[in-house]
Structure formats: structure tokens, C-alpha cells
Amino acid sequence: MGDAIFPQDVYVGQDYYAPGYRVVVGGKELRQIESDVVSLTYTDKNNEIDSVDLVVNNWDPDGRGPGKGWWKYSEGHALDPWQDVEIWMGYYNGGRDELRRMMVGELVRMTPNFASGGGATLNVRALGVLNRFRNTQVSKDYFQKKDSEIFRDIVDTVAQQTRKAYPNLDLTTDSGELARNLAGEQPVKHLTIKQEYAINYLFERSRSLRYEIAVDVSQGPPGSPRTVTMHYRPANQVKRPTYILEWGKSLVSFQPSLATAAQVTEVIVRCWNPDLKKKFEGRATLQDLQNEGVIDPAADLGAKQGPQAGRTEIVTDAVVQSDAEALQLAKSRLRVIAQSLVSGRGRCVGLPDLRQGVKLQMKGLGRFDGSYVVEQTTHTIGEGGYMTDFVARMEK
């Protein structure tokens, strides 16, 4: 099953005049800093740990410190690193709180800015909850295991090793989801992991397989146990709404790019495996990807292809265990190249549910109208209100 198409015209029946946010540190809502917030920025990127950057005014001219003022926050401990944090963003609609929880994580950095001119500020950075599990390196060999089995084993290992440090934080997987994955996967003959942080490795592996990692964090009162569920699923099986963005209405700006310099029509993976003493080869062409949302420049964009459009890329530095694995790697590499043909950077009204992986129907752009998949978003609340910047690639 592909993404569900539930078109949502974001500028119809919506009220974007009262943006708001909530910062919760150590289970306590920090209402006292709201008047001092210069900007709040949340960044969400494809298969990476999400982050928040908070900038607050740090100077109190009427404070109680020595001299003529006092440092409001850098002298206190309300925003010190290592603390739990929740970030909420969204709108108040008719007095109703419609804020969305954007991130659960921890404060990791505090940077005072003692400027020679202008106001003194404090920059605070937070990372999503998966950062707390990025402290375990893995070295292991897997034989005849499917990818979802490997994923489950790695997550279980990380959960056991971090339970002592965070007894109220339980890392787990969705067993039903993994069972569905296993039904369609083939065993990997041999997979080696050498001294890599487990979370980093899982992100890298998921990109190569066109899988998606997502995280759900249970809600509860301060100090209560939390369950962190890591989801692992093929990207084309995730159901999401499709937002309609139209230039001049909900779409403030968009800069598409049609780039052909790196495009190829065929990828060949060739490998001599010294352990097995065998040669493996996989060959993928654009025809192999015709049902996977890959753009045809001539048919979809009306672009006349030049004499170098039929180039082939040969990969010889990859280590594979079979012809089937070589073919999978060739298709994955070709897909990444083909999906970079049309990409763009845009800005729209602040939409807290516009996150990486969401689909967009773009209108008012002429030949660049169509379906796009969001790869990165940056949500900012500041002097200009609430805006969402995004990076997206075009699909058919």
C-alpha cells in the first residue's frame, strides 16, 4: 500500500493568526521565559535525530546582580543541559489550545552570547529522545537474518544497555509492524557491523533500503515512565495526508531546481567477495523503477534529453554477498540519483504537521506542479510569526 491521498487545502477554514508554543523542561512549563523568547526553531530531517534551537533574551537591566543588570538565564539552572524537554508548537484557535507536540528529548547545549553590541542572548539546543540511546557502539556479524530481525536485535541490545542510565525510559519496537515487514523480506547472507553507534547505523541502513524510522513517545506526568517505540517500515507503506500548497495562497515561496548533471539511466554494482571467492553483479535501469515514483524528464516535464542522457554508473567499492544483494544496491543507488532530478526549497504558513515524509501537491508553479515528498522541515516562531521552511523532491 502507498501513501493515502487525503488532500488538505491548508488555507481553507484555517486560522493562522494566533501562533503559540510551549516549552516544558524537567516536567515544568517555563512560562516565565515566553516574553524573552527571540526565536524557537524545530528541525526535522529524513532519518536523522530531530532538534530544537531556542534563543532567549538573557539580559535583565533591572536585575539584582552586580553593576547595572543581571544575566537572566545563564546564571540560573532552568535551561541547563541534561534535562528532559518537550517542545509544542501550533496555534490557538478561538481560545482553544491546538498546539502539537513536536519533540521529546533533552537539552544538550547552552551558549550565552555576551555581545559587544545589541542585546545579550542565550542559545539553547535540544535533541530528540533518540539521542539518549546514541551511546552504545555495536560490533556484530549477522548470518541469514532478515533486516527487520537485525533491527529488532539491535534495538533490544540498546534498550538493555541504557536501562540502567534511564530506568524510566523504555525503548521498544512495534512487533506487529516488524512481522509484516518480515513477510516480504529476504534473508541477508552476511552483514557486518563494526564499532558503530547503533542508532546511527540504523539510520544509514534504513536509507539504503528505502525504509523509514519514526519514533513515538508515550505521554505522562513528570517523572512517570516513558515508552519510546521505534517504527521501522518501508517508506511507500506509510499512510499520511497530502497537503495542497498553492503559490500566492498558502505557499509563500518555492525555488525548484531541475538538475541533470548527475543523472544516469543505469547503475551496475560489481563486487569480488574475497571471503566467498565469488564475483557478484547487479544491474538496474530506470525501467526497473518505473512503478516507484521516478520522474521521466521527457514525459513528465517535457524536457528534451541530451546526448549524455544514457550514462551508466559502475560501483565497485561495495561488498555484497549475492547477486540479489548487488541488484538491490544498484536499484537503491539509481533511485537516489533519479529522485534528485527535481528538488526544491519552499516556505509556507506554519504547519506543525508538515514533517519529513509528508506528501505535497504543489499548485501554481506551471510545469513544476505535481507531487512532492518532504525530506526536511524547519519550523520557526519569531518576530515574523510562525513559518515552515521545507526541502522536498518531486515524484510523479
% the chain with pLDDT above 70: 90
Mean pLDDT of 18-40: 90
For the chain, give the mean pLDDT.
86
Which of 64-68, 199-203, 214-218, 248-252 is predicted with the least confidence, judged by mean pLDDT? 64-68
Top pLDDT among 291 and 144 is at 144
Which of 259-268, 312-321, 366-375 is the most confident on average? 366-375
pLDDT band at 262 (very low <50, low <70, confident <90, very high): confident
DSSP 3-state of 260? coil
Cell matching residue 238: 506509510
Alpha carbons 319 and 201: distance in angstroms, whole number: 16
The separation between CA 344 and the C-alpha centre of its own chain, rounded to angstroms, equals 17
Percentage of the residues of the chain whose pLDDT score is greater than 90? 46
What are the residue boundaries of the structural domains of the chain, listed by start?
13-129, 134-237, 260-338
Among 170-179, 187-196, 323-332, the range of highest mean pLDDT:
170-179
Which pLDDT value is given to residue 1? 34
Q: Which residue has the higher pLDDT, 336 or 40?
A: 40
Res 8: pLDDT: 57
**Topology alike, domains 13-129 and 134-237:** no
Report residue 2's pLDDT band, with 50, 70 and 90 as the boundaries. very low
The yes-or-no verdict on residue 3 having pLDDT over 50 is no
**What is the arithmetic mean of pLDDT over 193-197?**
90
Long-range CB pairs of 48-51, under 8 A, 24+ apart, other chains included: 48/203, 49/127, 49/128, 49/130, 49/131, 49/134, 49/199, 50/102, 50/103, 50/105, 50/127, 50/128, 51/103, 51/125, 51/126, 51/127, 51/128
pLDDT above 90 for 104: yes
pLDDT the model gives residue 16: 62
Q: Using 50, 70 and 90 to split pLDDT, how confident is the model at 109?
A: very high
| First-to-last C-alpha distance (Å) of the chain | 16
pLDDT band at 5 (very low <50, low <70, confident <90, very high): very low
Q: Which residue has the higher pLDDT, 366 or 119?
A: 366
Backbone Cα Rg of the chain: 24
Question: What pTM does this model have?
Answer: 0.85
Angle of the 198-209 helix axis to the 323-338 helix axis, nearest 10: 80
Report whether pLDDT(232) > 90.
Answer: yes
Q: 3-class DSSP state for residue 247?
A: strand
For residues 91 and 98, the answer to whether their CB atoms sit within 8 Å is yes
300 versus 167: the higher-pLDDT residue is 167
Number of Cα atoms under 13 Å in the Cβ half of residue 280? 22
| Alpha carbon distance 169, 112 (integer Å) | 30
Three-state SS for 384?
Answer: coil
- Cβ-Cβ contacts under 8 Å for 305 (sequence gap 6 or more): 297, 298
Contact between 245 and 256 under an 8 Å Cβ cutoff? The reply is no
Which has more pLDDT, 125 or 194? Answer: 125
> Phi then psi for 11, rounded to 5 degrees?
-100, 5
* Dihedral sign, Cα of residue 373, residue 132, residue 124, residue 381: positive
Of the pLDDT bands very low, low, confident and very high (cuts 50, 70, 90), residue 18 is confident
Given a cut of 80, whether residue 221 has pLDDT beyond it is no
Q: Widest CA span of the chain, in angstroms?
A: 76
The answer, yes or no, to whether residue 236 has pLDDT greater than 80, is: no
Q: Residues 133, 138, 140, 145: what is their CA dihedral angle, to the nearest 10 degrees?
A: 30
Mean pLDDT across the stretch 243-265? 89
CA 162 to CA 339: how far, in whole Å?
Answer: 37
In whole angstroms, give the CA distance from residue 97 to residue 90. Answer: 8
Mean pLDDT of 188-214: 88
Q: In a 10 Å sphere around its CB, with 0-12 CB exposed, 13-18 middle and 19+ buried, how is residue 62 labelled?
A: exposed
Contacts of residue 380, Cβ cutoff 8 Å, sequence gap at least 6: 39, 40, 41, 42, 350, 386, 387, 388, 389
Give the CATH class of 13-129. mainly beta
**CB of 41 closer than 8 Å to CB of 379:** yes
Looking up cell 552483514 gives 191
How many other β-carbons are positioned within 10 Å of the β-carbon of residue 163? 13
- Mean pLDDT on 49-76: 82
61 within 8 A of 68, measured Cβ to Cβ: yes
Look at residue 21 in the predicted model and tell me its pLDDT: 93
**pLDDT at residue number 282:** 93
Other Cβ atoms within 10 Å of 7 Cβ, number: 10
134-237 sits in which CATH class? alpha beta
